[in-house]
Amino acid sequence: MENLAYEESLADEKEKALQWLKKSETKSNDDIFRKFLAITQNNKLVNKNQEEIEFAELQNKDGGFGISKDYKSDVLDTILAVECMEKSEKDNSEKITKAVNYLNLCQNEDGGFAFSGEKSSSYLTALVYRVIKGNTASFNKAGKETLKKCREYIKSNEKDNTLWGTDEETMKNSLMCSLALAEDDDDTLNRISVISNKVAEDGSLFEDIELTSLYISLVNEYEEAAGKLNTGNVLIKGIKISSEKERIGAYSEVKITPDIIGMKDNYKVIVVVSGKEGYSQMLNTEGNNTYLWNTENNIGTFEVLVSIVDNIKGEVIASRLKAVEVLETFEVQSVNSNISPKAYKINSGKKIIIQPSAYVLSNVSDEITAEVSIIGDNEKVLYKAENKKIGGENLKEVIFDDFTYVPDIKDTTIVRVQTKILRKGVEQKTKNNYVKIYSSTDENRIDIDYKVSSNFIDTTTDNINVDFSLSGKGLSETIKRKPMDIMIMLDSSGSMSKEDWKKAVDGAKLIIDNKQPEDRVAMFDVTLNRYIGDFTNNEKEINWGLERAYGKEPNGGTFTYYAINYFSGFFDEDDRDRVIYLFTDGTRSQGIDSKTLDEDKIREKNINIYGVYLENDYSMEKIEEAKEIMEYITEVGGGRWVNSKDNGEIISSVRELLGDIFKMAGRNVKLSMTLENDIPFSKISFDNKPDEVIKNEDGTTTVIYNRNYLRVGEDRNLDIKYDISNMFFEKDINLIKDIKFSYVDENDENIEINLDDIKIGVSNNKSSAIPDIKNEDESEDESTVKIEKKEGNSILSHNKPEETIMDENKGQVTGKMSLSDNRVYVGDDITADINLTDYNNLEKKKTNTRIVLINKDDANRIYITDGEMELAGSNEAGEKITVKTKSYEEGSYIAIYMAEINGEMTALDVAGIDILEHIYILKVTAGTGGNVEDKSGEYKKNKVVTLNAKANKGYVFDKWVSEDISLDINQVNSSQINIVMPDKGVRIKAVFVKEKNAGRGKDDKNTVKDNKNKEETANKRGGSKTDLNHSNKAKNNVASIDNRSVKEEKESESVKYMENGKSILSPTTGDFITRDNIRIMILIQCIALIIICVALKKNNRKEQEGVQ
């Protein structure tokens, strides 16, 4: 065949066929699916009021669909259902997966598919090929080869002039095969031309729903592929939803790809995800016409609204909805345990404290359990306990209560601390840590530990803090270290040799070298009773005093007691520890020195005294006397003394006392670590500057902290802070490695401890868990596949290169909107508080703004409110736009804030809002003698409510009474009436009266007379019978409305109804009795007249007979 030109008449024929199809009734699943597809493809704007198919009710357990509900599955109905589910606005991904798995089992060896038996059908094979080819991954692993065989089978059965058949029985083969090949075959238009010759005058193909639907679809397919659709009628053909996981749950990355044709340069796409409670988010394009949405901790059904907006006019040209179901997900992504200490001394009696934490990504809150086990040699469980916490939806990091364990271990070993996180008894995540158990004879020690501010980070984390803590432990650790005043007393008497004097000064220097920066030192000459240096922590002053003392020649007496008593008064500052360090040969100048120490002052000031006895070659008697003096002094001062001769030298003696003076837990303290280069060193800060910083060749940095000693009870913190704001990590961060800690204990042994490397778990708020399918049949095949974007001809898309999109976003003007409420009633005003920033590059000093509300239930309902914003020089401007909803329809809306940016109306922000109709209270009651059907409740304006009153035995219905609505005479006196709910609350009451005997003539006469008087009274008040009848017809049983509130109304036994703006009294029960009597009288008169007429006629006949 030769190629034919596109004929505009095709569009007319398609429209005629579409109208015929809409009027047709469906009788089977086949017809339901085909009609749905044809109508859905031709909807310009989404309309949720269009009837949706309940696929879950029609799908069989094997995943397939039959010709009707619960009927055996077949390929035809299944593939039609798959196509419908893809086009549907609802999320049918689970049902599609099950259906495609069913189809996978049905393909024949020749590549075709059969209706029944084994013979393949061109029609069915083409249908499967057409639907599945855009989603090979969901078909099977060899999808491309499968589709290739399908195509070969279809092409092999085509005939030159008659295609696959053109009569009524075979036409569907040609239609479906042409459809399957429409996008990728040159003969499509020729095939349409052949088929079009068979279209009847009424627009149908053989008056058949199936054939007519297929014909419409074929023309649509060609128009789209060839770009022949009227570009003024832009069409959102569909919305593709894809995810890396086969089911979408919490923190899933969802890709949204609109399939759009007919785009223009001045059109832009707005993609909004909305849900309940006003949730809305406008998505940014990720390039290639794809928009990314992270579900975060949301759950339930969400709607993706794709709108095409004319940027020049600011009008919504087309919209379409697609539902996304976010299933319940609970994923424990990481687990961590902070353990202290990480090295444990045998028989210390201390506790090992374990604090587990778990990082959870979930959209529900649930109880999780931390189970901690401590496992020793041969996998023996030494300890096991559990702790429960609630975590999930709004709590990502779950921190459990501390677990405590006191080891009863006699030998050095390493124990394993196992932390399990369980949910509903099922293990979610496990982590193992290790604690070293060591043995030591030292009384004092230094423990090291670290804590990290968070074990896990995500995109919202700005900082990571690592706090290393050094703790001096020992018998006196409950006594916390205070800043210290150290008074060094040097004996410069003549009995001291010059060598001992210099050694004593060196000993003093050793004390000074081991002081802390906050400690102060003063030096005094015992012999001269004067300062060598006053209390100071200034290193220069202290060293200057030492230099002066070093050159002194010993000479003079020894006034030890006097010096201690006198200089003790110089300790004058509170909240400081006080220590005297005495260097002396022990002898005193008798008769000159004080007789004794001022023990009360020493104890009152809490002064500790330590001494180094410099033993010389005096007589044994003198030596013993000196030792007694040293024992007495240190006993009063609560310290101790050492003999330099026993230690070999003064320096060793001083070092022995240092631990006591400073209560040393350890000395020569060193902490080194290597900072990994995952975070640049420029982003790291230190509260305590390291003593050494070494740059390594691999880009890492080693930092070293040195300290002379750590006192028992002293805690030192070394904080390292990482600034990670504006940084993104795809994998866990290696923070610190090679953490080494060492010190020398009181036994001069070198203690070394290696700590575990520090790594931080990274969550990009992207869950890897696959949510469970609710109500899943256990026997079903749970094999699933990914949903992938269909690769289409570029003519069908409005794709832009990613580079172009990035360029467009540079220096972009931004704006935000907040609504006064996300739930209002029709008629209420909505205040949209909008702002605009970064607009300095705009030419104009003011800009047009617009709030567009799109009804999600019917996108044809679009409401626009315009505004104008003054642009101030501060580069940030604001405006409040009042949206009046008086004419709005009830429904859920997406509000889009747009502003004119360089001549184009640009969408800047979105919000969700529900607009509801007012609900009013109706209260229906019954008086004595009857009851009413209870229709009390809440109703919207204009709702028609039927009220029915029933009288009890011995009573009759009288009338309805209400002060809230006006009723006409027919409504008042009818036991069953319809009222229309006004825009206020209504109270209405049914009144009943006792029955009266009809045969009492005197009463009847009086009743007639009374009734006549009432009618006359009514007429005098302005209401004639003629006017009343006219009023009844005009009102047509609809209740009129007055403006009073229900709360202000009082019940009344009388009813008013309006006629020409005047009140008319309602008739009473007696009026009805009078009318009944009148009717009887008239009836009697009529009967009498008939009898008279008959008698007259007989008489007349007799007279005529007599004349004859």
874 pLDDT more than 80: no
C-alpha angle with apex 1068: 1072 to 1043, nearest 5 degrees?
130
pLDDT at 1029: 37
For the four alpha carbons of 963, 964, 965 and 966, in that order, the dihedral sign comes to positive
**In the block, residue with structure tokens 């004319």:** 310
701 pLDDT more than 90: yes
Question: In the structure encoding, which two tokens stand for residue 165, read together?
Answer: 């058949």
Beta bridge partners of 734: 759
60 belongs to a structural domain:
yes
- Which range, 141-155, 522-536, 610-624, 900-914, is most confident? 900-914
Same domain, 888 and 939: no
Q: How many domains is the chain built from?
A: 6
Same domain, 897 and 931: no
What is d(CA 252, CA 765) in angstroms, rounded to the nearest whole number?
Answer: 8
1052 belongs to a structural domain:
yes
User: Buried (b) or exposed (e) across 89-122, using 16+ Cβ within 10 A?
Assistant: bbbbbbbbbbbbbbbbebbeebbbbbeeeeebbb
Same domain, 358 and 291: no
Is residue 390 a contact partner of residue 446, using CB atoms and an 8 Å limit?
no
Q: Which of 174, 198, 228 is the last residue of a domain?
A: 228
1026 pLDDT more than 60: no
The whole-number average pLDDT for the span 106-128 is 85
How sure is the predictor about 946, in pLDDT bands with cuts at 50, 70 and 90? Answer: very high
How sure is the predictor about 937, in pLDDT bands with cuts at 50, 70 and 90? Answer: very high
Cβ contacts of residue 818 below 8 Å, gap of 6+? 832, 833, 911
The whole-number average pLDDT for the span 782-800 is 30
Q: What would the pLDDT profile of 476-520 be if each residue is shown by its tens digit?
A: 555 556 788 999 888 888 777 777 788 888 888 888 887 878 889
Same domain, 315 and 352: no
Q: Which of 885, 916, 947 is the last residue of a domain?
A: 916
pLDDT at 1082: 77
The enclosing domain of 126 has a CATH number of 1.50.10.20
The whole-number average pLDDT for the span 320-330 is 88
Cβ contacts of residue 767 below 8 Å, gap of 6+? 249, 250, 251, 252, 329, 331, 333, 361
370 belongs to a structural domain:
yes
What is d(CA 246, CA 265) in angstroms, rounded to the nearest whole number?
Answer: 35
Same domain, 832 and 804: no
pLDDT at 955: 95
176 pLDDT more than 60: yes
pLDDT at 1035: 36
Dihedral of CA atoms 143, 148, 152, 155 in degrees, nearest 10, equals 90
What is d(CA 684, CA 681) in angstroms, rounded to the nearest whole number?
Answer: 5
Same domain, 806 and 821: no
Question: Any idea which of 89-98, 136-145, 752-761, 927-936 has the lowest mean pLDDT?
Answer: 136-145
pLDDT at 867: 92
Same domain, 67 and 203: yes
443 pLDDT more than 70: no
pLDDT at 957: 94
The whole-number average pLDDT for the span 919-934 is 93
pLDDT at 1028: 33
Q: Provide the mean pLDDT of the chain.
A: 78
874 belongs to a structural domain:
yes
Question: Any idea which of 344-348, 592-596, 720-724, 1076-1080 has the lowest mean pLDDT?
Answer: 1076-1080
pLDDT at 773: 54
Tell me which residue range forms the domain holding 862.
813-916
Beta bridge partners of 901: 904
pLDDT at 1075: 53
1023 pLDDT more than 70: no
Is residue 60 a contact partner of residue 29, using CB atoms and an 8 Å limit?
no
Same domain, 395 and 508: no
Question: In the structure encoding, which two tokens stand for residue 539, read together?
Answer: 């290193």
Q: What would the pLDDT profile of 247-301 be if each residue is shown by its tens digit?
A: 788 888 899 998 887 788 888 899 999 988 778 899 988 777 889 999 988 999 8
> In Å, what is the CA distance from 1094 to each residue of 1087, 1097, 1104?
11, 5, 15
pLDDT at 744: 86
139 belongs to a structural domain:
yes
How sure is the predictor about 1077, in pLDDT bands with cuts at 50, 70 and 90? Answer: low
Under DSSP, the state recorded for 783 is: -
How sure is the predictor about 1006, in pLDDT bands with cuts at 50, 70 and 90? Answer: very low
605 belongs to a structural domain:
yes
Shortest CA distance to 340 belongs to which of 417, 284, 279? 417
The enclosing domain of 298 has a CATH number of 2.60.40.10
The whole-number average pLDDT for the span 534-553 is 80
653 belongs to a structural domain:
yes
Under DSSP, the state recorded for 45 is: B
Same domain, 191 and 255: no
pLDDT at 367: 93
Higher pLDDT, 1066 or 718: 718
Same domain, 80 and 150: yes
767 pLDDT more than 90: no
Same domain, 312 and 336: no
Cβ contacts of residue 810 below 8 Å, gap of 6+? none
N-term to C-term CA, the chain: 102
How sure is the predictor about 1039, in pLDDT bands with cuts at 50, 70 and 90? Answer: very low
pLDDT at 875: 79
The enclosing domain of 489 has a CATH number of 3.40.50.410
Radius of gyration (C-alpha) of the chain in whole angstroms: 49
| Residue 1093 DSSP SS3 | helix
Q: Which spans in 965-1068 are helix H?
A: 969-972, 1001-1020, 1025-1035
233 belongs to a structural domain:
no
Same domain, 584 and 435: no
Higher pLDDT, 812 or 890: 890
The enclosing domain of 901 has a CATH number of 2.60.40.3880
What is d(CA 666, CA 446) in angstroms, rounded to the nearest whole number?
Answer: 6
The whole-number average pLDDT for the span 423-434 is 90
The whole-number average pLDDT for the span 803-827 is 71
How sure is the predictor about 9, in pLDDT bands with cuts at 50, 70 and 90? Answer: low
pLDDT more than 70, % of the chain = 80
pLDDT at 20: 78
1059 pLDDT more than 60: no
Q: Which of 856, 882, 916 is the last residue of a domain?
A: 916
DSSP 3-state helix, strand, coil percentages of the chain (rounded to 5)?
25, 35, 35
Question: In the structure encoding, which two tokens stand for residue 867, read together?
Answer: 């505004």
